[in-house]
Structure 1
């Protein structure tokens, strides 16, 4: 009898928690610092024609479309204008323009669903209209060959620039690149950071080396963001993430870390298992005199994948990152930066696409976060930094 009573009590409680989380997901504006839709569509040969079927209103492809965004309460995903590190400045600028054109086209051809946003005020207005706002951030500053390019990209609708990506560029060093030609920001990079502040573009320190982060914090006259980074405490050997000392510095700067959802970003054990499986598969193929590209290797690889399935982290771990970021940086300095459409099949259980944001909110409620705290994480903190960047530029 007692066991039955427990079930009767718990089931409504779980339902209430999920319902409350869904309610808040639609009550509050949810921003996401990084969604890689444009480059995913570019790879699929997106064409600026009405006949192209890839317009993301309702789609089974990828992690983002309008219908799933509305279901999950996502209101302002920053469209990543991603520039691969292999591109020259000239090539990168052409690619950036093409991706910006794509986002504008998606908005123009689907006015009842999307609208490009260039400020928090834009996002609030678009939210009230029941549409999804599409602000833009350029991932990799390589296209900024001249300082005048900063104003150019601002005019084109870019609201933040990630200083680099997987390789050092003319601006700074990358966390992924063993080569550190600048030992932080380059002299030109210092000028770029100051010009970004002058133009009202948020400075994004995701992907940069530690020394670049500290150089940027030292000279930036405005708060910075980490648009899609997680915490190194949970991934000790991953410089791409932020350590506790950096979180303290970010708080002093007034900035925001926006937590990446990728399993390898949030759980070091996941990467360890992947590395071990990769080494094991390599040994198996080597013993047979094969490489991964050989035709004869395909059935062996397929069988290996069946017996060694992909492992994932879960939404609980994402909220663990939020907890630790709050501990070291404070509730005013944390946001969400999923990297949807950018981390492939490594998304954690409970966060497989943009319909799943209520799962984060449910856990935050269960861990004692107030509704005010949750609103800050969803958008309030980013809006503060974004508005600070715009206000600083307006005062110049």
Structure 2
């Protein structure tokens, strides 16, 4: 019987080789089956995403919880996220980014901005209680999903709102913050940034070390996206709990881009028990594409400056529109996103990778096939094609992050009880 199936298999291969049309039809049928399976898994498994910048996008749009604006998070043509598209894509637990621009570190108002964005997320859930629920633990997230809602945990992008008061760590945990990205684009009072060449602290500040310890104690995940390499290694040395990179990718594909993680860092994060959640922005995925986009940006800037214009000038709009027609933007694709996942799996294992799209935060740079929250099944289909099992995909979709999130809560309880 085994011999029969071997012969049948060889025969089918020869048939496809002799008849390309048969091969093409079988390939199309296989793609259709994988697509159906990807859609099924996207709805079957919880999908969590480490970083969605909806709150700040709405702030920029002067969002107010009035009758006029209540529909924005439900269904809109703007941005990358809304309820309808999230449901279509199977997204259940997007971490809402409480984003604090670095300017608030010097100009003041960081804590106030954080509170206002947290209020906004709570307000969205209050306005649509049948569609959204604010959560701060995996258990709360699962309960919300079971009730048919999209769960909205929150992560604070930039620790500036902690200010210089350690008590604010507990304050923000009570307000529902589940992770804190230690800094953003500039060195702050906690640590150095990957985007800043100043090297203020050569890693963590003395206060920053206390903040990491207090985050462990309060049950807030330490997010090492945006931090300098020195900061990362120092966090790994002192943390009592696993950490996350909520929206970072692999530096192997973007040489010299410190914002991404190098191979040794990915391995170390895996040894820590942590998870790197892959950023979908093209600049994070492909160094050559990033270089090309920079060149186009510089070329447009030169054209505008030659006419004494800036991007914001009314007279520049027609020039910018024509430039973009003549010089189409270039994008990464699904395969390079999967390449990053493959690379992390090779270095650290399938237990240490997840999704951290940066939807609503990377502008017009999202990959072909991953333009908004409705398109997670496209990525799942790509992973299925590459041989990932359903169990692997379940881990990548949410179980890896759940493990870290739960362990951080466990460590916090032990620390508060004096057991650590």
Asked whether the two chains share a fold, i.e. TM above 0.5, the reply is yes
**Residue of structure 1 equivalent to 2:57:** 40
Alignment of 1:217-228 (within 5 A): 217-228=236-247
Which of 138, 156, 162 in structure 2 is aligned with 1:138? 156
CA–CA separation in structure 2 for the residues paired with 1:262 and 1:188: 32
**Residue of structure 1 equivalent to 2:375:** 356
Where do 5+ consecutive residues of structure 1 fail to align? Answer: none
Does structure 2 retain, via aligned residues, the 8 Å contact 1:229–1:259?
A: yes
CA–CA separation in structure 1 for the residues paired with 2:263 and 2:398: 23
Q: How far is the alpha carbon of 1:40 from its aligned partner?
A: 0.5
**Deviation string for 1:141-165 (max 9, x for gaps)?**
0010200000000000000000000
TM-score scaled by length of structure 2 = 0.91
CA–CA separation in structure 2 for the residues paired with 1:379 and 1:71: 17
Q: 1:67 to 1:219 in 2, by over 3 A?
A: same
**Residue of structure 2 equivalent to 1:98:** 116
CA radius of gyration, larger in: 2
Q: 1:154 to 1:233 in 2, by over 3 A?
A: same
Q: How far is the alpha carbon of 1:293 from its aligned partner?
A: 5.6
Q: 1:345 to 1:252 in 2, by over 3 A?
A: same
**Residue of structure 2 equivalent to 1:335:** 354
**Residue of structure 2 equivalent to 1:127:** 145
CA–CA separation in structure 1 for the residues paired with 2:321 and 2:121: 37
Does structure 2 retain, via aligned residues, the 8 Å contact 1:41–1:54?
A: no
**Deviation string for 1:237-290 (max 9, x for gaps)?**
210000001011111111100000001110111111112223333444455565
Does the alignment pair 1:5 with 2:22?
A: yes
Does the alignment pair 1:320 with 2:339?
A: yes
CA–CA separation in structure 2 for the residues paired with 1:233 and 1:376: 23
Aligned partner of residue 155 in structure 2, secondary structure:
strand
CA–CA separation in structure 2 for the residues paired with 1:287 and 1:129: 58
**Residue of structure 2 equivalent to 1:183:** 202
Query: Aligned pair count?
Result: 396
**Residue of structure 2 equivalent to 1:377:** 396
| Cα RMSD, aligned residues only | 1.6
TM-score scaled by length of structure 1 = 0.96
CA–CA separation in structure 1 for the residues paired with 2:287 and 2:235: 27
Q: How far is the alpha carbon of 1:296 from its aligned partner?
A: 5.3
Does structure 2 retain, via aligned residues, the 8 Å contact 1:55–1:106?
A: no
Where do 5+ consecutive residues of structure 2 fail to align? Answer: 1-17, 416-420
Which of 21, 31, 38 in structure 1 is aligned with 2:48? 31
Aligned partner of residue 354 in structure 2, secondary structure:
strand
Which of 99, 103, 107 in structure 1 is aligned with 2:125? 107
Does the alignment pair 1:254 with 2:256?
A: no
CA–CA separation in structure 2 for the residues paired with 1:23 and 1:159: 29
CA–CA separation in structure 1 for the residues paired with 2:298 and 2:63: 36
Q: How far is the alpha carbon of 1:121 from its aligned partner?
A: 0.7
CA–CA separation in structure 1 for the residues paired with 2:311 and 2:174: 46
